[in-house]
């Protein structure tokens, strides 16, 4: 069982739009999911358990959450995000491009979560570079992400709001959208701080393939 495969399976099932709640159907679905998977190495069935945030979004069945609930989720998610330990937000965009292309990680045959060779799998949902012909459209295009926002120097004070927004989004996507389908890379421990910095550079470094 692969984490990302399961994630996008569930995301697809929840993307069909609002439908009437059906307790019996929910129970049957949960039973089906529990019986369809088993623990295998580091891929354990506890990945099927939803936290309160995901449970609230699932219960909404594609409808908008009440404003107060959405704001509460986003506030709590934002509080979970920590700035870079050294104060530097950008790493190496070339390493970030490799992460964006890499869809592996957290699979049953890896020894532990700590040694898992995780990637960001960014192209599965987004366009990032002009050269890449194979990309998903679940998320918006991120091509020229920094350039389109006028980021010529990511270290400048004027770029600070854009840099911090991107950092928050990568760490915990629910900090900006309560029911975001994007993985919570930092909060879930899927990517390290150094890897997150490399993805930040991919998005915001003027020399990156994203911004050329």
Q: Which of the listed CATH numbers 1.10.760.10, 3.30.70.1230, 3.20.20.80, 1.10.1740.10 matches domain 93-204? A: 1.10.760.10
| 8-state DSSP, 6 | H
User: What mean pLDDT comes out for the span 89-116?
Assistant: 86
Over residues 165-175, the pLDDT tens digits come to 999 999 999 99
Separation between Cα atoms, residue 91 and residue 193, nearest integer Å = 10
pTM: 0.82
pLDDT of the residue at 30:
78
Considering the chain, tell me which residue range(s) the CATH 1.10.760.10 domain(s) occupy.
93-204
**Looking at 19-33, 80-94, 158-172, 193-207, which range is the least confident one?**
19-33
Express each pLDDT in 60-101 by its tens digit: 888 899 999 999 999 999 999 999 999 999 999 999 999 999
62 φ/ψ sector (left φ>0, alpha ψ -120 to 50, else beta): left
Identify the pLDDT of residue 26.
75
For the chain, first and last CA: distance in Å? 37
């Amino acid at each position: 069982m692969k984490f990302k495969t399961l994630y996008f399976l569930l995301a697809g099932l929840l993307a069909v739009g609002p439908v009437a709640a059906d307790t019996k159907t929910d129970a049957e679905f949960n039973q089906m999911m529990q019986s369809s998977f088993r623990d295998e190495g580091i891929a354990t069935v506890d990945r099927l358990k939803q936290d309160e945030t995901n449970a609230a979004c699932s219960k909404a069945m594609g409808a908008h959450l009440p404003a107060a609930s959405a704001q509460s989720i986003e506030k709590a998610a934002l509080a979970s995000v920590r700035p870079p330990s050294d104060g530097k937000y950008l790493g190496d965009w070339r390493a970030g491009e490799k992460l964006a292309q890499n869809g592996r990680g957290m699979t049953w045959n890896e020894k532990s979560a700590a040694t898992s060779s995780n990637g960001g799998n960014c192209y599965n949902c987004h366009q990032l570079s002009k050269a890449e012909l194979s990309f998903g459209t679940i998320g918006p295009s991120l091509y020229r992400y920094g350039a389109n926002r006028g980021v010529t120097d990511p270290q400048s004070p004027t770029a600070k709001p854009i840099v911090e927004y991107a950092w928050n989004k990568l760490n915990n996507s629910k900090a900006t959208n309560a029911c975001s389908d994007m993985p919570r890379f930092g909060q879930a421990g899927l990517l390290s701080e150094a890897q997150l910095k490399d993805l930040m550079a991919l998005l915001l470094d003027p020399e990156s393939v994203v911004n050329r």
